[in-house]
Amino acid sequence: MTKSTIGDSPRRREDARFVTGQGAYLDDLRFDDLAHAVVLRSPHAHALIRAIDAGAARRAPGVLAVLTASDATADGLRPLRPYVEANVQTGEPFAFAPQPLLAEDKVRFAGEPVAMVVAETHAQALDAAELVAVDYSPLPAVTTADAARAHGAPILSPEVPGNVCLDWRTGDAQGADEAFRMAADVVTLQLDNHRIVMNPMEPRGGVGLFDRASARYTLHVSSQSIHNNRNHVARALGVEARDVRFVAPDVGGGFGAKNFAYVEHALILWAARRTGRPVKWIANRSEVFLSDHAARDMQAEASLALDAAGKFLALKVSSVANLGAYMAGAGGGVPTFQYVHLQGTVYRLPAISLHIVAVLTNTAPIGVTRGPGFAETVNILERLIDAAARQGGFDRAELRRLNMVPPEAMPMTNAFGFQVDSGAFAQTLDCALVRAEMAEFAGRRRQSEARGLLRGLGFAYHIKGTGGSPDENVDIRFEPDGTVSLITGTQHIGQGHETTFPQILAHRLGVPNERIRLRQGDTDLIANGGGHGSSRATYMGGTAIWRASDSIIAKGMALAADALEAAEADIRFEDSRFVVSGTDRGIGILEVAALGREKGKPLDTFHAWTREHMTFPNGAHVAEVEIDRDTGRVELVRYTAVDDYGVLVNPMIASGQAHGAMAQGVGQALLEHATYDPRSGQMIAGSFMDYALPRADDLPSFDLGFNATPCTTNPLGVKGCGEAGAIAAFPAIANAILDALAPLGVKGFDGPASPACIWQAMERAR
């Protein structure tokens, strides 16, 4: 038997079943008497609904039900409410309208659900959906934050005057104004962190069942956070949370798009109750583009004040977040917590003034993706620093070093009172620049110029708070067959938890890995759970495992002392065994567990805890690009990163997570843009024909290193690792592109660096 512990890199145990087709994704699950649902979606971005005639659809072959908003109202269903309804910092309520499960009087984005058709087969449901006649009266649409706030703009919901959900000023405005008056240099940028769609491999979906005997719902679902989402869906159904069970055996990716509840989750369960049949719905790829929660979409005007030596004096940021048609999921929580939390990132910035606005538009609701709020913050500051270096004649790296919080000043407390416990920022930056061979860059640039190409190098320093939902628990059970069940409220969606969580438990208890079975993804298995989001699982679940192990060892001491006929004070625990100090006598933990069962004193342990701190992964990413002068085509030719994730439970899995995040960040920087027609509100990048995800030939081989400083606020010393690349890649690549284009006088560009975008920027500079 093997025992892979913290720091080892065993192969992922879950991969064996995935590559042999034994996964349990939604389409792999089998149900008797299964019915199929299709969602009829609005073709308009903004329109009144005058009437819905579903008569012909209800008479169509195989149709079991055609459900509309009037049916939902009659059955007592409720709209979905945001997860956060007030400013996290001040308690001031947001202006919002709950999202109806099915549109009744009005549609607010192209793709909003209007009806659900349930039939014997998927084809029959599709055919019947075409027979539903909806009388729309189109209204003007707004797709950008500026358009939504313009005078005379159409109002999406009367509950949100002027389409503004929140308008908040925070920070030290007086101190910032004084610093700007004293500054030797001020740099200002207009920045667009453009909208993206996550596109996980497995689309959203679910299979709903209703048991009439118990009046209980069960949803088999592709979701990242089943407990919290279950609670919100139960509220929409008008029942208690205990009356709804969510099950998610395997989830084919999420990237934030599956963090929150969707109206379809409630609709599927309702349809199962109405039809008396299991009902299945899985989004097609067009529905993913139209209706999945999108991410980013924040514009900002930002200014940085510096003294003559380059010391940062103050930061001013005025930002506007486009939330889409509804304040869905975290909604206003991101701009009032994550976005505020680490303003100033790793730099000493004594005065920061923020103006934060969030508005509704006729677009799909915004949710989260890797690094929500933190990514926007890092992008602003890292772009400003490069602009300040160019404007003031500073070396980009030295300007960062000059202003970084040094290791001896840790833990650091930023201008908003948030504390970061650990990090060696300047050292990590230097490691990355050495690893990226920055000293030899001039030679590589000359080689590119000889081939008629512009070459640029850019870098960015990222930091993020990880922790997500503040509560987590585990239940560790010693089974009669000698295995150990590790039941968690966290959730794997491809990160490798089936490998890493047993490593943590094996490290603490010495039990061979193959004896440990991770069980999760079922709200009936464990009372509560924070799921997966904000790179929280290893920190939150791992800490719960560590503390539960302390309790298990303490319980085992008394049982072992009795079995070994020794004083409990003489017992110590070493590598899976309780031993009598000074002797060779001992007993294994699994034997002690068996004794405990016999005596009615099991070692089984449940542990719940609430975090007081977050973890703060950070690091430096360095990108090099080549640009074709004639076409504007950008090629990413080198990418180097040195990250601090604290203690690595499994370095191989941490590297894989980092690589995936880097690929996502590259996608936003170079390719991806969820674009709407500004007049009609129609999405014009609604398929892979128009929305370009990064492919293997768009990416160089990533060079990743680690410079770990253990986290001091959890017993493992870990920091979340899943989001760093998506935060750092966007500004690092943008800075590299601007470095390449600087000789031409190009100072900025918006959106992904497509050939057309870069060519236009070069033409404007000419």
Q: What is the mean pLDDT of residues 365-391?
A: 97
Owning domain of residue 480 = 15-22+469-609
pLDDT the model gives residue 766: 85
691 and 626 together in one domain: yes
CA gap 433, 435 in Å, rounded = 5
What is the tally of structural domains in the chain?
2
Residues 636 and 553 in one domain: no
Same domain? 492 vs 462? no
Are 315 and 302 in contact by the 8 Å Cβ rule? The answer is yes
Give the rounded percent of residues in the chain with a pLDDT score beyond 90. Answer: 95
For residues 680 and 582, membership in a common domain is answered with no
In a domain, 162, yes or no: no
pLDDT at 108: 98
- Tens digit of each residue's pLDDT (9 = 90 or more) over 7-61: 999 999 999 999 999 999 999 999 999 999 999 999 999 999 999 999 999 999 9
Residues 749 and 633 occupy one common structural domain: yes
- Segment 564-572 shows an average pLDDT of 94
Q: Please spell the DSSP secondary structure of 236-303, one letter per residue.
A: HHTS-GGGEEEE-S-----TTTTSS--HHHHHHHHHHHHHTS-EEEE--HHHHHHHS-BB--EEEEEE
* More confident site: 495 or 551: 551
* 674 within some domain: yes
On whether the CB atoms of residues 547 and 606 are closer than 8 A, the answer is no
- pLDDT > 70: percent of the chain: 100
Q: What is the pLDDT of residue 266?
A: 98
- Binning pLDDT at 50, 70 and 90, where does residue 136 land? very high
Candidates 634, 643, 635; CA nearest to 727 is 643
Which residues, other chains included, contact 64 with Cβ-Cβ below 8 Å and sequence gap of 6+? 35, 118, 119, 120, 275, 277
Are 602 and 716 found together in one domain?
Answer: no
Looking at the domain assignment, is residue 537 inside a domain?
yes
Task: Give the residue-averaged pLDDT of 701-705.
Answer: 97
**How confident is the model over 223-227, as a mean pLDDT?**
95
What is the reported pLDDT for 1? 53
What value does the mean pLDDT take over residues 207-218? 98
Provide the whole-model pTM: 0.96
Average pLDDT, the chain: 96
How far apart, in whole angstroms, are the C-alpha atoms of residue 483 and residue 421? 37
Looking at the structure, tell me whether residues 549 and 461 fall in a common domain. no
* Domain end marker among 609, 637, 655: 609
Query: Residue 137: inside a domain, yes or no?
Result: no
Are 432 and 557 found together in one domain? no
pLDDT at residue 534 above 90? no
User: Is the residue at 462 inside a domain?
Assistant: yes
Does 231 fall in a domain? no
Q: Are residues 458 and 476 in the same domain?
A: no
Q: Summarize pLDDT for 351-368 with one digit per residue, the tens.
A: 999 999 999 999 999 999
Q: Is residue 563 part of a domain?
A: yes
E-assigned strand segments in 323-408: 351-359
Decide if pLDDT at 2 tops 70: no
Report cis status (omega within 30 of 0) of the bond before 411.
Answer: yes
Confidence band (pLDDT; 50, 70, 90) for 127? very high
Identify the domain boundary among 581, 609, 637: 609
Q: Which of 609, 640, 669 is the last residue of a domain?
A: 609
Does residue 589 share a domain with residue 462?
A: no
Q: Is the domain of 452 the same as that of 565?
A: no
Residue 329 confidence (pLDDT): 86
> Is the residue at 533 inside a domain?
yes
- What is the domain-level CATH number for residue 684? 3.30.365.10
754 and 621 inside one domain: yes
